[in-house]
Structure 1
C-alpha cells in the first residue's frame, strides 16, 4: 500500500588520538568509582558536567570497564559536535529522590541526562553483545502505587536528546529508568542498534502482572522527528515499548514524525505504539512508519495505535503505517488496538473499559486514520479477545488492511465470537486472515 524511503547518516566513533582528537578517561581525570555516597554522586556529576561541556570536535570520553560511577540527575550539554561517549562500565544514578536536583524555575526534578542541539554524536561501548555498557537509573525507588500517587510524573527520564541530528546509539543497556528511558525529541537521522531496555520490578519476572505494572511510564524508546532506524534491540518495560510521538510546535526538523523503521526487535510491555496523536498541537501527524520482523513474548499490549483528545479545532493524522512479520505470544491485554488512548486522565478511554460497566471510552473526531496495514501477523494465545478497532462516527478510519492476520486460540472475553470490537472502519481482510474483524470486508 505504500513504501518508506529511509535514509540515516551513521556516526562512526573515533578512538585514535592522533587522528580524531582527545581520549578522556573519566576515572583518570578524577571520576570516583564504586562509591554510592551522595557526596560522591554529586562530585561525579559535577565533574561530568564540566567535562562534557568542554568536549571538542572528535573528542571521546571513556568510562572504563569494570567500574561503576555513581551519579545524580542534571547532566546537561548542548551543541556538541563530532564527539563520542564510550560507556564500557556502568553509569548508575542514585535512588535518593529526596535529594534529587530540581529545576530552579519549575521545581521539577531534572532528567538524568539531557542533551540538545547535538550533531554527529555517538553513544557506544567497546563491549560485546554479552556485556554492554550500562546506564542504570535505579528506578525501583521511584516506582509503585504509593510513589505514583505522591510524586506522579515528577520523575526523571534517563536519556533525553532534543533538537539533534546524525546520532548513533549502540551496544548499551538502558536499565531501570525512573520514567521514560530514551526520548529522542525532534531528532533527524538517528540510528539505535544493539541497545536494550530493561525496566522491571523483579529481575526474574516474565509477566506483566499487577505488581510489575506499577513501574508506570517506563517507556522504552519514545521518538519524534524524521529518518529514524531502530533495530536489533530487546525491550522489557511497563509502558510503551516504542512510541512514535507527534512533533510539537517548536520542532525544527519536520512538521510530522515520519520516515521511521523499527525492525528485528524483541519487545514486551505496552506495545509497539503510534501516538498518542492529538493533544495541543494545531495539526499533529505521524506517517510513513514501519515495524517489521518483531517478536513480543508475554506482552501486555501488542500493536497499539492511539489518538488523544485535542483542543477545540485541532486535528491530527495517522497514515501510511505498516506492521509486517510480527509474532505476539500470550498477550495479557489487547494484542491489537486501533483507537483512543487508554489512560487515567479526563477525556481518555478508561483503563477499565469495557470490563467495568459505564466506563467511558470517547473517540476523538479530529484524527484522520488512513492507509494502515497489518501483514503476516500471528497472535498466539491472547488471553482475552484479540482486539479493538474503533473509529469516530463522523471521521471513520479508512483503508485499513489486514493481510494474513491470524489469531490462534483467542480468548473469548469480552467480545465472544465477534473477536474484535469493530466500528466506524473501512477495512479489508485478505489472505488467510482469521478471524476477520466483523466490520471488515473479506476477500480471499
Structure 2
C-alpha cells in the first residue's frame, strides 16, 4: 500500500507539472512528425520474408529497401513490417523512407555475430567504445540520410542481447557490441511509437545528426544488463526526446560528444537538446547523464518532467582530466525520485581513456548547471559534487529541492562553486547562498545566464515532499 500510494501521488504530480513542460516541447523539433505521407509502399513479405522467428530475413529487408530507393525522389516510400517474428541481421536504411511496424510485428536481431558486419570506429572516439579497433554495425543503420521515420503501432525491435552480454562479460568479443539503431551524419529523423528490447549495447544512438525526434518509445532490458543505455544523442544538435519509458541496465538518457583527444579533434558538440516527460528505472546508471565522453562539448540542454525510480543515480554529469570540452548551459527541472541511491552527482574523475595519447592537461569546463524543483523519497545521498583540482566547476545552482535522505551526511562537495536556495537537507558550504554577490544561474530560457529569483510562482517542492512522506507512511 505504501508504494502504491506514493506512485499514485507521483502520477498526480506529473499531471500538475505537464503544463509547464508543454511550453518546451517543439522548441527544436517543430513540425517533425511520424505521419508523413509516402506515396509508395511495400510489405516485407513481398520480398520473400518469413515471419516465423527462425528464417533469416536480412536479404528480404535489404532487397525491399533497395527497391524503394527508386522512389526516394518521388515523394519517398514506406516499408511495412506486418505481424510476425522477423529474424534478421543488420540492414541499412535510405533517405525519404518510413520503416513502419505492425503492433504485432517483432524485428529480431540474429544471435550469429557474423550477421552484424564490422565497421570502422567513430572518428570522435578513435576506436571501439569497449575494445580497440572496429565495432559491430547496429541492427538498423543509416549513413548520410535525410527524412527517415522509424515508427509503428508499438511494434517491437528485439536485439536478443543476452548472448552479447554473456560474450562481453566473459571477454569473448573481438569488437565493440552493436546498438539497436545508429544513424550517422543524418538529419530530419523521427523514431516513435516502438518498443526496443534487449539491445546488445546502447539502444538508440544518433551520432553527428541534427533534427532528431524520439518520442513515445519504450526501452526494456534486464536491470543487470551491461551498458544497455536507452537514448544517447552523440555530437548531435536539435534533438528532442519526449514521452518515453526506459527500464534498463545503464543510463536512461546519456548525452555525449566524443572521447578525449579524438572528440577534441573532431570538435562536433551536442547542443540544443530538449527532454521532457521521461520515466525510468536503472540499477547501474542515471536517469539523465551527460558524459563521460563529452570532449566535443555539450551545451543548451533542457530537461523537464523526469520520474526516476529504483535507480542508482538521478541526475549525473561525468567527466575527467583529459576529456577537455565543456558542459555548459544545462537546465534540469521538475524531477521526482523514489528509491534512488544518489540524487545528484557531478564527477570530475570518471571513466577510462581510449589510449595513452590523451592530453592530461586537457581539463573540461563545467559551468552554468541549474537543477531546480526536485522532490525525492527514500534517497540514499542527496548529492556528490566533485570538481577537478585546478579546474573548479562553477555556477552550479541548485534550488527548490526537497529530498527525504537516509544518509547522516547528505552532501559531499569539493572543488565546485555555485549557489543554492530552498534545499532540504541543507546543501554544502560550496553552494552557500550567503557567500559572495548575488549569483548568476542559467535559466534554461536561452544561452544566456539569468540572475536567480524567488520561485514563488512554481509548485512548492517542500509541500510535495510533505505529501509524499505522508502517503509513504500510510
**TM-score range relative to shorter protein:** 0.7 to 0.9
Residue matched to 1:196: 218
Distance of 1:338 and 1:9 partners within structure 2: 32
Distance of 1:104 and 1:259 partners within structure 2: 29
Q: Deviations over 1:122-176 (max 9, x none)?
A: 1111x2xxxx111110111221486353228632111001111112111011111
Distance of 2:30 and 2:346 partners within structure 1: 32
Residue matched to 1:340: 348
Distance of 1:429 and 1:52 partners within structure 2: 56
Distance verdict in 2 for CA 1:140–1:277, change over 3 Å:
closer
**Which of 202, 205, 220 pairs up with 2:230?**
220
Distance verdict in 2 for CA 1:323–1:118, change over 3 Å:
same
Give TM-score, length-normalised by structure 1: 0.78
1:266 aligns with 2:274: no
1:316 aligns with 2:333: no
Give the 5 Å matches for 1:89-168. 89-103=104-118, 108-125=135-152, 127=153, 132-144=154-166, 147-151=169-173, 154-168=176-190
Distance of 1:104 and 1:291 partners within structure 2: 33
Distance of 1:15 and 1:238 partners within structure 2: 34
Contact kept? 1:223, 1:243, Cα under 8 Å: yes
Distance of 1:266 and 1:148 partners within structure 2: 32
Residue matched to 1:395: 391
Distance of 1:295 and 1:12 partners within structure 2: 25
Displacement of 1:297 in angstroms is: 0.9
Query: What is the SS of the residue equivalent to 2:433?
Result: strand
Distance verdict in 2 for CA 1:148–1:11, change over 3 Å:
farther
Distance verdict in 2 for CA 1:68–1:109, change over 3 Å:
same
Distance of 1:388 and 1:401 partners within structure 2: 14
Q: Deviations over 1:195-252 (max 9, x none)?
A: 111111xxxxxxxxxxx42x1111100003111111111011111111111158799x
Contact kept? 1:407, 1:435, Cα under 8 Å: no
Residue matched to 1:358: none
1:25 aligns with 2:16: no
Residue matched to 1:371: 368
Residue matched to 2:124: none
Residue matched to 1:241: 252
Contact kept? 1:388, 1:422, Cα under 8 Å: yes
Q: Deviations over 1:295-348 (max 9, x none)?
A: 0010122101111342xxx7311111111010111114x22111136446699x
**Which of 86, 89, 107 pairs up with 2:100?**
86
**Which of 63, 67, 76 pairs up with 2:92?**
76
Q: Could you list the runs of 5+ residues in structure 1 that have no partner in the other structure?
A: 201-211, 348-362
Residue matched to 2:421: 430
Query: What is the SS of the residue equivalent to 1:240?
Result: coil
Q: Could you list the runs of 5+ residues in structure 2 that have no partner in the other structure?
A: 1-22, 121-132, 435-453, 455-474
Contact kept? 2:179, 2:203, Cα under 8 Å: yes
Contact kept? 1:226, 1:254, Cα under 8 Å: no
1:8 aligns with 2:25: no
Displacement of 1:29 in angstroms is: 3.1
Distance verdict in 2 for CA 1:11–1:291, change over 3 Å:
closer
Contact kept? 1:52, 1:77, Cα under 8 Å: no
**Which of 297, 309, 313 pairs up with 1:297?**
309
Query: What is the SS of the residue equivalent to 2:54?
Result: coil
Distance of 1:117 and 1:287 partners within structure 2: 24
Contact kept? 2:34, 2:190, Cα under 8 Å: no
Contact kept? 1:44, 1:69, Cα under 8 Å: no
Residue matched to 1:355: none
Distance of 1:442 and 1:10 partners within structure 2: 42
Distance of 2:349 and 2:106 partners within structure 1: 34
Distance verdict in 2 for CA 1:217–1:152, change over 3 Å:
farther
Distance of 1:367 and 1:235 partners within structure 2: 29
Distance verdict in 2 for CA 1:274–1:153, change over 3 Å:
farther
Distance of 1:336 and 1:48 partners within structure 2: 47
Q: Deviations over 1:22-74 (max 9, x none)?
A: 1111123322111414xx3444454455446555242111112x32211123x
Give TM-score, length-normalised by structure 2: 0.74
1:307 aligns with 2:319: yes
Distance of 1:15 and 1:6 partners within structure 2: 20
Residue matched to 1:286: 298
